[in-house]
Each structure stands twice: as structure tokens, then as C-alpha cells.
Chains A and B, each alone.
Chain A
Amino acid sequence: MGTDAVVLGAGTAGMVAALRLAAAGASVLVLAEGEGGLPLAPAQIDVLGYRPQLVLDPLGELAGFLESRPDHPYQLVEAGEVGASLDWFLELSAPLGYTGSPRLNRLQPTGLGALRPTCLVPETMAAGDLSDGGSVLVVGLRGFRDFHAPLLAENLALAHPPSGAEVRARAVEVSLPGDPRDLRPQLLVRRLEERGVLAELGREIRSRLEQEDLVGVPAVLGLESSHEVWQGLQELVGRPVFEIPTPPPSQPGQRLQQHLFRALRRLGGEVRLGARAAGYRARGDRLVAVKVVTAAREVEIPADHFVLATGGIGTGGITAGPDGELREEVFGARVSRGGAPEQPLVEYMATQPLDRVGVEVDEEQRPLGGGGGALFENLWAAGAALAGAEPWREKSGEGISLATGFRAARLAGGARA
């Protein structure tokens, strides 16, 4: 079995580490208990959005942010490596038309109409940066329960980008032909890939346009052929069109996942889904193999290098027990609360006890054991598995995953050489 590297977890961090290792010539196997985290998320690449005040220049403001956050995973990486990982991602994801810069946040509408800072977005969302204002026609699909254009537009019209520019928004609802019970994201993407359905939608939107110079739609513009659907709709409507993220299952997330999986396969790597890592075998301070449960039996997968990118409590990489104990499930690595309080706060929108939970690592991103030293010399952690971040409130998740996944691959690659 000649696997050089095993990566646990098929989310952003795991895929980045796997792709970087594979690009450097390693044979790579990615294992995920479920289907990986990417189909949940809207495929926007956050780097740093709130500290807690709005961040306009993520890379420029990173050092200032970290002064008050000694436990933050960005402490592990140089700003240069954050930038390098984003540049690499932009290049890798060129087929999805990713655009943006880590030196300038974009302000994109959420499904509720908040203006949310993020860094890189796919081409299908690119026109939705309202930093300099704009006039948006928000288009809802009648009966689609996960997108409510009127509320979105009314909130959006109250947004104040720091530029002082005005945001205007108006909502319309259009009907798609067919059964309203089919208005689920995973079915909508397929229907909009039908030329006739798209043409009817485009005509309907065009007829409802007034002075708006932009058109925002729910993020269901096709799956395999999202470029053609998005481009086609823009032509039909005669205005730039952008997607607004909807709750899971996220279609832009699916697109990004398929793209990253394919890229890895092209480099000779493999992704195995539905494979739960349940244990390991070690020799001294070297990890020799992980034990994986697939099809109800346990198999041992040996490798030279291992990356732990199973995420935190939200994805099952870490579990919380009734007595407050926190456990990293595969290796029993040391888990920290990352400076969050022990007791829950009454106010929901505050730092809660489980918000920063993750594994503790040494300077080389190696998870620590009970004794305080690195568990294994050939195991590195990356992404949401790391303690100390509040990715959703800070809008920092993908940036952390990219930078630490990128670095984990470099450290593992260095160890290889």
C-alpha cells in the first residue's frame, strides 16, 4: 500500500492540504466520515470580516486583530502564507471564476439582506459586491421556502456600506412552471439547466426590471453548467446577475466540492467518502496507520504523513460529553476551549463555551497529547479542527482552512524531503 499521505476530512482544509501534497508529487488519500463540509457552505472565501468592527483589509488588519487573540489559529501562519494560499486558490479555482483580493473585503448580501464581508467569491456571485452601493432587483421564486426576497430587499435597502454609497433594493417574485413542491435547491439547479426554463425565467425578470442595474437571485443557477446558466441569465436579463447564498444544501458549495475532488483526482489522489476514522496504530512517536470503518468493517490504512482536518464539534471531529469533557475522536488529541468561557452566557450573540473549541497544536501545527508535547511527529492539524477561532462571527473560516491546510501540506512535504 503505497500511500504517502492520508488526510482525514474532506472540507476546505482537508482538500487544500491534499491538493498541495498531491501537487508536490505525493500519493494522497482523503477520508471523510460523511460527504465533507463543502456542500454546506456557500463557497465564499472569508478571511477576516469582523474584529469585532468591520474589517475592510483582511491581510492588513490581521496583525492588529491577533494582538487581542493569542489563541487564534492565524497566529500559526505568517500573513504572507495567508496571501500565498489565497493566490493559489484563485488560480486553482479559475474555472469557477473566483475573484477578489485578501487586501479588500467585498460586501455581499446575505439571505436576510445583511451586507456581509467576505474575500473571494465565484463568478456567479461577483456582481453582488455592494461596497460602492448599487441598485438591486432581488428576485424570489414563488414558493421557494428558503429565500424570501421582500424581507431581503427591505433589509438590504437599509445597509450602509462604509463608502457612504447608497444601496437600493426592490423585490419581485416570479413563478417557475411546474410543481411547487419541487422548489428545493438540489432540484432547482437541474431545472434551471433546462434551456426553456431559464429562458422563461429570464424573460419574466426582464419584464419586471425598472431602474435597477443589478439582479440578485437565490444561489441555484445550475450545478454542472453553472457558468452557462449564469451567463445565459445575464444575457436574457441584460444586467449583471449574482447569486445570494441559501441554507444547506448549498449549490455553490457542491460546485466547489466537485471542482476540488476532480482536481485531486487529476493529480492522482483519491477521496473516499463514508469512511470514518476510528483509531490508529503508532510506533513510538510515529503514526503508522489509521483504522477506518467502511462498509461495517475496520481496515487499516498505512501512510507516511497524516493530516487531521476533521473540523470541530459541528462536524463531529470533536465531541462534547454531558460532563463538559471534550474529546478529539480519532487520536485523543488535547482539546482546548480557546479562551472561551466555561459557562454559557444568556445572550446568544456572545462568545459561548463551545465557540472556540478545537485541538491544541505546537508551532508546527502538530496536535498535542496529554503530556504537552506533539502526539506524533507525522500528524498535522488544519482548519476548523484548530482551537481558538470563531469563524462564523469573525467571518474567518475559509481563510484559516486555506492558510493552515496550505501550511500543513508544506510541513508534511518538508518532512517528506
Chain B
Amino acid sequence: MNTLDTDVLVIGGGSTGAGVAWDSALRGLHVTLVDRQDFATGTSGRFHGLLHSGGRYAVKDPGSARECAAENRILRQVAADCIEDTGGLFVSTPEDDLEYADRFLAAARAAGMEVEEVPVGTALRDEPRLNPKIRRAFRVQDGSIDSWKMVSALLRGAEAHAATVLPYHKVVEVLRHGDRVEGAVMEDQRTGQEVRVHAGCVVNAAGAWSGQVARLAGCEVGVRPGKGVMVAINHRLARAVLNRCHLPSDGDIIVPVRTVSVIGTTDHPVADPDDTECSPEEVHQMIEAGELLVPGFREARALRVWAGSRPLLPKTGGSAGAGDREVSRSHTVLDHGARDGLEGLVTIAGGKFTTLRLMAEDTVDVVVRKLGRGSECRTRTEVLPGSESRHFYWIGNRQQEAETDPPDDPLICECELVSQHDLDTVVARRPTWRLDDIRRALRVGMGPCQGGFCAFRVAGMLHQEGRYGRAEANSALREFVQERWKGVKVISWGAQARQTRLDRWIFEGLYDLEHLPE
């Protein structure tokens, strides 16, 4: 068994854990971060990609709104490469209360947001597909944030400060010595080998899974996973993030993300955070909700549906019967020493992607106090790797690169303009295991064809380069096809139904994937 010594062991490689790793590393602490899968595969990789202005919470949860507004400003400075500056609009549809709009404007200003009411005509000129019957419109600083890029940048930054990051390492045991947590044992999901990590402090940043991790340590964390469903539509239906100006409910946000638009979301309590199956009813609910913001939404081509589990932490004494939207979206740092008499373990619970930096700062402040060393937090000003130029990305970046500096190797994914060179760069940076990991890094397989053409190419190339053995390539391909099916099976209509037929013909008719040796 391998044994490592570290100052801080972070469990969970989503945005929260990656943020904690980056923050700790900048304070001079040695960090080891583990995740049971690839990074940002849980909730962080399964949301709509909205960088909140704070508007969504302005009326109902002013504390969260204030945090979002402040963190939004900071991330634009330090993580520009992960953000598209789309801006956002809150609009009052015919179904929304106009009096709410007044409250919204006042609350947004009070929360420190940059908010401005714009004439309806201006909003419609900027967003021609917006419902022409809207009655008021407010411009805010929403953005579109690439969660995979963000988590990857945080981890690269941490690694540059000597952090160790271990994907596919699942915690199988939390090491305890009396009433002290001293580390954990992880099992490499690829090889079955165990790694023992001794840590000065363990941070449970497993989000919706943090209850499971806490139980391994022998304590309880009352995190309640809340499932949210998202649907990706094949076009950018709007330039800006579109929000309904009303009390937050289901399907009232449309976010332009790269080449698609994402509508979200729902909120249903689930027992198991891995329960991310989407029902046809949930999908239809999203499509109908989209119709109110963008008439004709129903006719647009739905590409894929997915769900993520929010890590909601109800306040102690909060009424159990209340809906999840009653739960604050703010975060809490649980010091298990003070709370449970179990030293050496800190859980960061609740929160949201936009406030990941603040969550990390608050968590590491506690860690530093416990360890008795570590410097001041630097993440407010330290620019992340890749964002040095402070340029936001925009949808035309890949096309522009392809035109100004044409790669001399072929495109492997036409939908998302990915070349073989891009593939080689990504796999050289971090040895990957599954095609799905490459998808998150490069968006391969996320376009209209959903991997019909590119999955085979990637598997074949990685096999050729010796990164996959034969059986690994076969199972990677099978697994990818299965994973893509999960997201299209409940939206099989229109052009996408036709596409799934073509993909099925390619995998079954042309390659006969079903009868390939193991």
C-alpha cells in the first residue's frame, strides 16, 4: 500500500474541493485531493453553467444574493478564461407579478448588484427571441461559466503549488485514532490498489455525498440531495442569460453555454445523490417552461437531458416539511471538533458554484486555525492558470483559432471543432481513463451527433497511442455509448430522434459493437 503524508486531505474533486485545494496550496499547505471519479463529475459538472449575478436570490435570500454579487466580481478578475460574459436579463412575463419586479429592483440594489431597468423595447431588440409580451426587464451581471474548465484550472493551480490530485480514488476508510481523524484510505477504482493518506486535517468537500463521507468518520451531516433537471437545446436562443423575474421556481432560467442553450431546473429531494435519472415528465416541464420565456422553444432541437444533485443543508430546526427552495443556498463550515468532539475533520456543506471561492476561503480559515499554520487567503487576487490575459472566452474562439492558425491534423469532432492536437494536449496533461473524462475536457461528443462519429475516433486514437489496451478501448466505447444514451433516451423526438437512429446504425449496423469481444 502506498502511503502519503499531507497537511490537508480534501475529499471531493468538484468545485468546492478544487477551490479548497487551490486556497490551501496558496497558503503554503501541502494538499492531497481525492475523488471517487474524474473531477467535476458530480454536481459541478451537472448544472446549467450559470455564474449568478445574485438576482435569483435577491428577494428571498439576501445573504446569498450579496455573496453571489461579490464573488461574481472576483471570479471575473481571477478566472476570466472560464467565463463567457453573456450578461443576464430578468424579465417579467405575463404570468409574473409586476409588484415583485419592484421588490426585485430594490433588493438587488441592496445586495450590491449592478442592476439597471431597461425599456422592454431595448430588451426585445437585444434578444429577438424573447417573449414579446414581457412587461419589464432588468439587466444584471449574470454570466456563463465552464465548470470543467474552472475545476481544471483550480487543480492545475494547486498542482503548481505542490498539491497531489488523485482522480478515481474512492475513500473506503476514514482513519481515526480515538476522537481524532488522521487521514483516510482510498481505493484506486482503476487498479484496486489502496493508498493511505495521513493528514493534519481532512476536509469533507463531497457536496451531496458529504453525508456518506461523514458516516465513514462516524458522524452525521444532514445534507439533503436535491435533484435538478437540465435540458440542452441545439442553439443559442439568447445572447444573455434569461431569468423570469419572480420567486425562484422550476425551469425559469435559460443559459447560453458555448454552442447550446441550457434550461433549468427543477428541485426534488432525493435519497441518493447518484439518482440522476430524468423522467419524460420532468423534461416536458422544462420544455413548457421554456416556452414562456422564448416562444417556439418547444420546436427547438433538444440535444440532451441530465440532472445534478444539489448539496442542500437545512438549517438546524428548519421545518422538515418545507420545500427545498426554502433552504438557504448559503454555505456552512462544520467543525466536527466543536460539533461532535471529533477533531481533524471539517465539512463544507451547502453553497453553490458561484460562491466556490468564498466557500473555500471560509473552510481553509478553519483549517489554518486548527493546524496552527498557513498564511492569509490569497484567492481574491491570485489569477488562475489560463486566465492571465484576463480575457473572457467567447463562442467564436475555436473557430477563430482554426481559421488563423489551422491545425495540420484532422478534426476529430466537427460539432465542437476539436482537433487531434487538442486531444493529445489533454491526455498528456492528465492521464484519463474514460472517454467521458475527455468529453468534459474538450466537449467531444457534446454536440448534435452526441458521439456518433467522434467516439470511435477518440477510442481508436488513444488505443493507437498506447493509452488504452484493446479491452479498455472496447469498454470505454461501450460505456460512452451507454452514457450518451442516458441523456437522449427521454428526448427522442424531432431531429434528435433522427440523430439517435443514425448513431444506432453506426454502432450496431456498421461496427456491430454488440458482438465485439470483451
Binding site for B on A (CB under 8 A): 40-42, 50, 110-116, 143, 145-148, 150-151, 154-155, 158-159, 179-181, 183-184, 245, 247-248, 312-316, 319-322, 324, 344, 346-349, 352-355, 391-393, 395, 397
Contact = CB atoms under 8 A, between A and B. Distances in A.
Given A114-B511, A392-B508, A312 B501 contact: yes
A181 to B, nearest CB: 6
Task: Name the residue among A245, A348, A354 with the largest chain B CB count within 10 angstroms.
Answer: A348
Interface in B399-440: 408-412, 420
Contacts of A115: 515
Nearest to B454: A145
B409 A180 contact: yes
Given A247-B506, A322-B298, 6 more contacts: A113-B516, A114-B512, A148-B463, A319-B494, A320-B493, A392-B509
Interface string B160-173: 00000000000000
B287 interface: yes
Contacts of A114: 511-513, 515-517
Contacts of A110: 510-512
B211 to A, nearest CB: 26
Contacts of B453: 247
Nearest to A115: B515
Interface string B225-269: 000000000000000000000000000000000000000000000
B248 to A, nearest CB: 25
Contact of B500 (A247, A354, A397): A354
A317 to B, nearest CB: 10
B456 interface: yes
Interface stretch (B50-58, B311-319, B343-351, B482-490): B482-490
A155 B408 contact: no
B504 interface: yes
A391 B509 CA distance: 8
A184 B412 CA distance: 12
Contacts of A312: 501
A151 B493 contact: no
B501 A313 contact: yes
Contacts of A397: 509
Contacts of B492: 320, 344, 353-354
Contacts of B511: 110-112, 114
B348 to A, nearest CB: 33
B185 to A, nearest CB: 32
Interface residues of B, number: 48
A314 B512 contact: no
Contacts of B298: 322
A151 B473 contact: yes
B420 to A, nearest CB: 7
A233 B326 CA distance: 73
Given A111-B510, A353-B492, A146 B457 contact: yes
A155 B470 contact: yes
8 contacts: A112-B512, A114-B515, A145-B412, A183-B410, A320-B497, A324-B493, A344-B490, A349-B508
A9 to B, nearest CB: 15
Contacts of A354: 492, 497, 500-501
B279 to A, nearest CB: 10
B389 interface: no
Nearest to A390: B508
B456 A247 contact: yes
Contacts of B486: 346
B337 interface: no
B463 A150 contact: yes
B494 A321 contact: yes
Contact of B516 (A40, A155, A319, A355): A155
Interface SS of chain A: loop
B464 interface: yes
Interface of B: 284, 287, 298, 408-412, 420, 453, 456-457, 459-461, 463-464, 470, 473-474, 477, 481-482, 485-486, 489-490, 492-494, 497-498, 500-502, 504-506, 508-517
Given A112-B512, A145-B457, A151 B502 contact: no
Task: Name the residue among B408, B459, B510, B516 with the largest chain A CB count within 10 angstroms.
Answer: B510
Nearest to B496: A320
A180 B517 contact: no
Contacts of B481: 348
A399 to B, nearest CB: 13
Given A181-B409, A391-B509, A316 B514 contact: no
A143 B409 CA distance: 8
B510 A314 contact: no
Nearest to B491: A322
A84 to B, nearest CB: 25
A265 to B, nearest CB: 28
Contacts of B512: 110, 112, 114, 116, 395
A395 B463 CA distance: 28
Given A143-B409, A145-B412, A344-B489, A245 B501 contact: no
Task: Name the residue among B411, B412, B474, B481 with the largest chain A CB count within 10 angstroms.
Answer: B474
A148 B461 contact: yes
A150 B94 CA distance: 61
B410 A180 contact: yes
Task: Name the residue among A147, A245, A392 with the largest chain B CB count within 10 angstroms.
Answer: A392
B284 A322 contact: yes
A165 B298 CA distance: 55
Nearest to B298: A322
B500 A155 contact: no
Given A113-B516, A181-B410, A151 B501 contact: no
A151 B284 contact: no
A316 B410 CA distance: 30
Given A151-B470, A348-B485, A111 B456 contact: yes
A245 B410 contact: no
Contact of A322 (B287, B409, B501): B287
A391 B456 CA distance: 21
Contacts of B461: 145, 148
A312 B456 CA distance: 25
A181 B414 CA distance: 13
B164 to A, nearest CB: 33
Contacts of A181: 408-410
A42 B509 CA distance: 10
A392 B463 contact: no
Top-7 shortest CB links A-B: A148-B460, A314-B501, A392-B509, A344-B489, A392-B508, A114-B512, A348-B485
A112 B506 CA distance: 11
A151 B517 contact: no
